[in-house]
Amino acid sequence: MLTYEIRQGDTLFLVAQRFGITVQDILLYNQIPNPDRIDVGLVIRLPVDILPPTVPSPLPVRNIASRCADGMLLTLLVDRMFYLRNQPVGLTLVKTNISGRPITLNYLSSQRYDFIIYQDGLEVWRWSAGQVFLPVLQQVTLAPGQSQVFSAVWNQATPAGLPVPPGVYRAVAINTASELRDQPVSTRFRIAAL
């Protein structure tokens, strides 16, 4: 079972189509009073055990969030919904061209993505912190249906190496292309007290 956070422009039909299920499947697993009106930010359960074949993943996914932006489907995969303390958190960003045309993205440096972890609105970890990226202008063109996958692992520690406390955290994935950097994808997960 996966969870999905409703984004701007989503309909139950589009979500069902994206994951290869029916609207009726979604309605059976969620208490949605009016299927014609769903609110942005609503988290629904999807009766899906694996990702659709068009979204490759090296991780056994349990937690997923997606958004569409200018013909691109951005999907954040977090390998679990619940973690024990000190258990690595696997993060994957999949960028897929879902339009019928090639899409060219412009990058201002060699950095292509970033992952950020927040707790109570405060940043506790950023994948790119301390890394050096070349300041070069580059373009990447994705053909229709083509994907790029970016992954990282967070060890549940702050940049100073201190373990983080248990609680609810928010993972955010950003594609750093000029066209997409203002279109983050996020989902929540919990670190247990045990």
- 91: amino acid identity, one letter: L
pLDDT number for residue 47: 75
Within-domain flag for 18: no
Question: Rounded CA gap, 115 and 127, in Å?
Answer: 5
DSSP 148: E
Report field, pTM of the whole predicted structure over 0.75: no
pLDDT number for residue 187: 93
Within-domain flag for 23: no
Within-domain flag for 78: yes
pLDDT number for residue 57: 40
Question: Rounded CA gap, 59 and 57, in Å?
Answer: 5
pLDDT number for residue 76: 93
Per-residue pLDDT of the chain (194 residues; tens, 9 = 90+): 567 778 888 888 888 877 778 888 888 888 887 877 888 888 888 776 544 444 444 434 458 888 888 889 999 999 888 898 889 999 999 999 988 899 999 999 999 999 999 999 999 999 999 899 999 999 999 998 888 899 999 999 999 999 999 999 999 999 999 999 999 999 999 998 76
Query: Rg for the chain (alpha carbons), in Å?
Result: 17
Within-domain flag for 56: yes
Within-domain flag for 38: no
| CATH (domain of 181) | 2.60.40.2360
Distance of CA 60 to the CA centre of its chain: 14
Within-domain flag for 69: yes
pLDDT number for residue 12: 86
50, 69, 89, 115 from 121: Cα distances, Å: 31, 24, 19, 15
Range of the domain at 64: 50-191
DSSP 165: P
Residue 36: how many other CB atoms lie within 10 Å: 7
Within-domain flag for 34: no
Number of structural domains found in the chain: 1
Question: Rounded CA gap, 73 and 46, in Å?
Answer: 18
Question: Rounded CA gap, 125 and 154, in Å?
Answer: 8
Residues 6 or more apart in contact with residue 192 via CB below 8 angstroms = 82, 83, 84, 85, 166
Within-domain flag for 43: no
pLDDT number for residue 54: 42
Distance of CA 169 to the CA centre of its chain: 14
At residue 97's C-alpha, the angle toward residues 186 and 153, to 5°, is 40
Q: Helical H runs in the chain? A: 12-19, 23-29
